[in-house]
Amino acid sequence: MKQLDFKNNVYTTPPGRASFWAGLAPSLVFYCRFLDIVYRASLKSKKNLYEDADWYKSSYDVLRVLERVGIRFQVTGIQHLQKVKGPCVVIGNHMSMMETVILPFILSSSEKVTFVIKESLLHYPFFKYVMRSRDPIAVTRSNPRQDFKTVMEQGVERIGRGISIVVFPQTTRAHIFDPSKMSSIGVKLAKKAGVPIVPLALQTSAWSNGKIIKDLGKIDVQKGVYFSFGEPITVEGKGTEEQQRITDFIQAKLQEWKKYPDHDE
């Protein structure tokens, strides 16, 4: 399986030049290719032929298409993820559709993985077949009590099968990080399942939310994309301190990235 070329635990997009058409219309070129990837994946999913390796390849293909239209990636902290032996709970901020489609490949070198997702993703044309095949944990976002029960029960069950869980505990995607909007559901899941947490900070506003279709907004090649994993955290006590460590890590990384010339202000 393809892997990113990490040098000193850092991956950066190699220098290159976008094609003529990608330079003129990066969003159009990207979405034509992206929708083709999703369509082909959905055909296999409908036939129950879409396996983990297929998912990771689709994720890799999307990453490469983004790079070909001019998006520059930086991924750091992969060594922290690799320290974890067995499943874990990855907890991060949530900005765009990008992390949902890119993280499967980035995480593929560690353990099997799935996501806590909003239930509506299971009803998107074509995309629904892919997501359903990935055994996700679907929440309503309208019934907090039921959502908590779902994440606790299904999350522990998935982890028991050796599957890591990615949780975005914010109530909705946001380009501005507000720690008060981060619920502690991921920390509680990790504590109940007895597995470590790997914090994740990300800056993916290069893929903006759309005005007509929320998940299909402008691709802005002037903005860099950043993913950073933190030191594994073991939950002790009520988890309050661990929750604070996660938000502190995310805030620190977002502040660090603000100094970069391709950061989105």
Q: What per-residue confidence (pLDDT) applies to 40?
A: 95
pTM, entire model: 0.92
Length of the chain counted residue by residue = 265
Is 60 exceeded by the pLDDT of residue 263? no
CB 63 within 8 A of CB 107: no
Alpha carbon distances (Å) from 64 to 151, 214, 219: 32, 22, 14
Q: Report pLDDT digits (tens) over 70-114.
A: 999 999 999 999 899 899 999 999 998 899 999 999 998 767 899
Distances 235 to 31, 83, 184, 194, 228 between C-alpha atoms, Å: 40, 16, 12, 8, 20
Q: Has residue 248 been placed in a domain? A: yes
How many domains are contained in the chain? 1
- Residue-wise pLDDT tens digits, 155-184: 999 999 999 999 999 877 888 888 888 999
Q: Which residues contact 199 (CB under 8 A, 6 or more apart)?
A: 90, 91, 92, 229, 230, 231, 233, 245, 246, 249, 250
Q: Taking all residues of the chain, what is their mean pLDDT, rounded to a whole number?
A: 89
- Write b or e for each residue in 52-90: b if 16 or more Cβ atoms lie within 10 A of its Cβ, otherwise e: bebbbbbbbbbbebbbbbbbbbbbbbbebbeebeebbbb
Q: What is the CA radius of gyration of the chain?
A: 18
pLDDT at 240: 93
Q: Is residue 244 part of a domain?
A: yes
For residue 264, pLDDT over 60 is answered with: no
Higher pLDDT, 33 or 140: 33
Kindly tell me the burial class for residue 132, based on how many C-beta atoms sit within 10 Å of its own C-beta (0-12, 13-18, 19 or more): middle
Whether 265 is covered by a domain: the verdict is: no
pLDDT band for position 4 (50/70/90)?
confident
Helix (H, G, I), strand (E, B) or coil at 205: coil
Q: Is residue 5 part of a domain?
A: no
Domain harbouring 160, CATH code: 3.40.1130
pLDDT of residue 172: 79
If 0-12 CB within 10 Å is exposed, 13-18 middle and 19+ buried, where does residue 224 land?
Answer: buried
Report how far apart, in Å, the C-alpha atoms of 191 and of each of 91, 107, 156, 161, 202 are. 13, 21, 10, 17, 23
Nearest in space to 91 (alpha carbons), one of 195, 216, 209, 222: 195
What is the C-alpha separation between 187 and 24, in angstroms, rounded? 44
In angstroms, the CA 62 to CA 58 distance is: 6
Q: Please write the tens of the pLDDT for every residue from 193-206.
A: 999 999 999 999 99
Is 264 or 125 the better-scoring residue by pLDDT?
Answer: 125
Least confident piece of the model among 5-19, 41-55, 136-150, 219-233 = 5-19
Residue 195, domain member (yes or no) = yes
The predicted structure's pLDDT at residue 175: 83
Phi, psi of 187 (to 5 degrees): -65, -40
Domain that holds residue 110: 10-257
Query: Averaged over 225-246, what is the pLDDT?
Result: 94
pLDDT tens digits, one per residue of 15-55: 877 777 777 799 999 999 999 999 999 999 999 999 999 99
Which amino acid is located at 159 in the chain?
I
3-state secondary structure of 44: helix
Confidence of residue 56 (pLDDT cuts 50, 70, 90): very high
pLDDT at 144 over 90: no
Q: What pLDDT was estimated at residue 33?
A: 94
Residue 224 pLDDT greater than 60, yes or no: yes
Cβ contact 147:141 at 8 Å: yes
Can you tell me the mean pLDDT for 213-232?
90
Angle in degrees, CA 3, 26, 117, rounded to 5: 60
